[in-house]
Amino acid sequence: MSIILSVLIFFPLVGVLLILIAGRKEGRDEAIKWIALGTSVITLLISVAVLIGFRNGFPGLQMVDRFDWIPFLNIQYFVGVDGISILMILLTAFISMIAILASWTAIDHQIKTYYILMLLLEIGMMGVFLAQDLFLFYIFWEFTLIPMYFLIGMWGGQERVYASIKFFLYTMAGSLLMLLAILYMGITNNSFSVPDLIAGRDAFASAQYVLFIGFAIAFAIKVPIFPFHSWLPDAHTQAPTAGSIVLAGVLLKMGTYGFIRFNLPLFPEASFDYAPAIAVLAIIGIIYGALVSFPQKDVKKLVAYSSISHLGFVMLGIFSLNAAGIEGGILQGVNHGLSTGALFFLVGVIYEQRHTREMSEFGGLWKVVPVFTALSLVVVLSSMGLPGLNGFVGEFSILLGSMGAYSLGGHPWIYTAFATTGVILAAVYLLWMFQNVFMGALKNPKNEKLRDVNKRELVIFIAFLIFIVWIGVQPSPYFNLMDSTVSTLVNDISATVLVGQ
């Protein structure tokens, strides 16, 4: 029994309480910002402590905290970490800290409420990645909707109310089907514990294809997979910069994580049989997201549509149902959080000064803000998968996994070939965006007054770039964290499918 994961989940509550009791004297807003930032930094340090105590090579749950919560319903408070979730909690802690730091000057009203919501959102996201009881997972899953709904609705753009309601309704509607599936499995097995349900999955094997869909729709909306994606561009475009960073960096990964954590081990035969269809949807998303990104005139909307394309790769990797594909999918989820989070941040830096995101308003910025341009170039190159940077490692592993995927039928290379076009298209729309915003002549006199990055912005960029380069150059430590857990999962799926055939 260990309490470190519970401390990690609920430590942001300390910051919430401190912000609530903050006085109304002059300088209160500054104090609130420092409390929120300090809380997020300590949470990050706790996540690093979890990493230090994490045992590579052990496939099961570690640092488990488990006790009966609602005994007469067989519901437990049950949290644990393994190779599937360790990178997700590190990403959550890192992105939450970056988002709070990125909000420093961008948020100028209702500051107290804003930072409370940011810390509450971190609690929900951590809980999603660590919960091992389906009832507890569902509570954390739904809880994350509330802070993000208000973050978009109160601090977003002109159409923020529409975007926030659309985000809430889409994700809530999908979750109801998952709730029905959870109730069915909990009643059938007399337990909501995920390890217990996996061990006793024969009890609901006859219904696994329907149950798979119940979970899959909830997760597909969150990812989002084509055609469940229409809420995403609005939410991203209208959200404040920090909201977009968290949405891209962590919230979308809750969907891909859900497929790996629940769909694959609970419904292995259904996962195998549905894999070709989901792979097709993933490839449609890869190509569609890229094609729709290209004509966008709003830089933020371009980055939003690019997320659909990038997460299509993640889904293709997951449903390759082999170690290379799944590990590539997990790592690419982390890469997307870093690269796309950094893209949203650089858009926010420009927007804070010019209050526009239209590409036609820019051009030639490299002459005025050379440091910002150089940093932005590295981020753009990482997002398009340049070898030596993080995006390439994840995409290569996914394409390698899909090429040898027994789950994709007799000609898996066809899926790989179509997916590869997404890499080419990403280079097209990202370099087009960079050319229009940063290169060429400085024609708009309003851009002459732009300042280069300040110390706070430079710290954020460097934080992103450290991991972008590190993963690109030396990805082995990241794969090592996942290896044993993913291998055990893949072996379990393979054994079950072979028996079924």
Q: 109 is written with which tokens?
A: 């009203």
Residue 261 is predicted with a pLDDT of 95
Instruction: Return the pLDDT at 416.
Output: 92
Q: What would the two tokens of residue 418 be?
A: 């179509």
**Which of 325, 379, 391, 311 lies closest to 347 in space, CA to CA?**
379
pLDDT confidence band for 421 (50 / 70 / 90):
very high
Among 89-93, 437-441, 475-479, which is the least confidently predicted range? 437-441
Q: Residue written as tokens 């994490």?
A: 54
CA 287 distance to own-chain centroid: 20
Threshold 0.85, pTM exceeds: yes
Quick one: average pLDDT of 165-184?
91
Mean pLDDT of 464-474: 95
- DSSP assignment, residue 299? H
Per-residue pLDDT at 499 exceeds 80 = no
Q: 102-119: per-residue pLDDT in tens?
A: 999 888 888 999 999 999
pLDDT in tens, 236-271: 888 899 999 999 999 999 999 999 999 999 999 999
pLDDT over 90 percentage in the chain: 71
pLDDT, tens digit, 9 for 90 and up, residues 207-230:
999 999 999 999 999 999 988 888
Is the predicted pLDDT of residue 147 greater than 90, yes or no? yes
Contact of 11 with 49, CB cutoff 8 Å: no
Check residue 78 and give its pLDDT: 95
Q: Is 74 left (phi over 0), alpha (psi -120 to 50) or beta?
A: left
* Span 78-111, pLDDT tens digits: 999 999 999 999 999 999 999 999 999 888 888 9
Which of 8-17, 176-185, 397-406 shows the lowest per-residue confidence on average (mean pLDDT)? 397-406
**Contact residues for 358 (Cβ-Cβ < 8 A; gap 6+):** 297, 298, 299
Q: What's the whole-number mean pLDDT along residues 391-416?
A: 88
327-352 pLDDT, tens digit per residue, is 999 999 999 999 999 999 999 999 88
Instruction: Give me 18's structure tokens.
Output: 């401190």
Helices (H), 355-475: 370-383, 390-403, 412-438, 455-473
Residues 474-483 have a mean pLDDT of 94
Confidence class for position 473, pLDDT limits 50, 70, 90: very high
| Per-chain mean pLDDT for the chain | 91
User: Tens digit of pLDDT for each residue in 7-65?
Assistant: 999 999 999 999 988 766 656 888 899 999 999 999 999 999 999 999 988 999 999 99
Q: What percent of the chain has pLDDT over 70?
A: 98
pLDDT of amino acid 389: 94
The Cα–Cα gap between 426 and 481 comes to: 29
